[in-house]
Amino acid sequence: MIDNTFTLISRIDGEIRHFIAEELAKDGITDIVPSHGAIILELMKHGPLPMNELAHDIDRTPQTVTHLIKKLVKAGYVETRKAPEDNRVTMAALTEAGARLAAALCCISEKIYDLQYNGIKEDEIAVLRGALAQMYANFTGNTDRSE
């Protein structure tokens, strides 16, 4: 059986990334890419976080998060420092510019939500989210469907 579900998901992902980049550019933000958004939003939600916890929360490797954080530090959106209780732990936190970026990303997220679910009923959204969570669990072996 030929199934294009993955192709559709991939196309939607590409369109969302393009939409985010365009919306950021409208705000004059051209020095980040959509993959930085997960870090910015996590730091906005939780405040300063240890890098390893941040990696876990956004489902990325510590090496990937370190690379992304370095770019965000260079751009002035994030700062890092050693944890006061354990200098082996590096903490990441938003700067003032990062907080402004987080606010812009929240507005963009609302636009994405409205656009992606336009014409879809609430009960259908719940079914879709449940099915996608189950698909993810099928591939990861993770039975926690709270994604």
**pLDDT tens for each residue of 101-121:** 999 999 999 999 999 999 999
Q: Is residue 124 part of a domain?
A: no
Q: Is residue 134 part of a domain?
A: no
pLDDT of amino acid 74 = 96
Q: Is residue 25 part of a domain?
A: yes
Q: Is residue 130 part of a domain?
A: no
**pLDDT tens for each residue of 11-65:** 999 999 999 999 999 988 988 888 899 999 999 999 999 999 999 999 899 999 9
Structure-block tokens of residue 34: 């959509």
pLDDT of amino acid 143 = 66
**pLDDT tens for each residue of 66-85:** 999 999 999 999 999 999 98
Q: Is residue 52 part of a domain?
A: yes
Distance between CA atoms of residues 90 and 82, nearest Å: 5
DSSP H helices, 82-146, are 96-116, 122-140
Q: Is residue 147 part of a domain?
A: no
Q: Is residue 75 part of a domain?
A: yes
Q: Taking the complete model, does pTM exceed 0.95, yes or no?
A: no
Q: Which of 2-6, 13-17, 36-40, 124-128 has the lowest mean pLDDT?
A: 2-6
CB 54 within 8 A of CB 65: yes
Q: Containing H/E element for 74?
A: helix 62-75
Bridge partner list, 96? none
Q: Is residue 139 part of a domain?
A: no
* Domain of residue 20, residue span: 5-116
Q: Count of domains in the chain? A: 1
| 110: Cα within 13 Å, side-chain hemisphere | 5
Indicate which CATH number applies to the domain containing 84: 1.10.10.10
Helix (H, G, I), strand (E, B) or coil at 5: helix
**Residue 84: count of CB within 10 angstroms of its CB:** 8
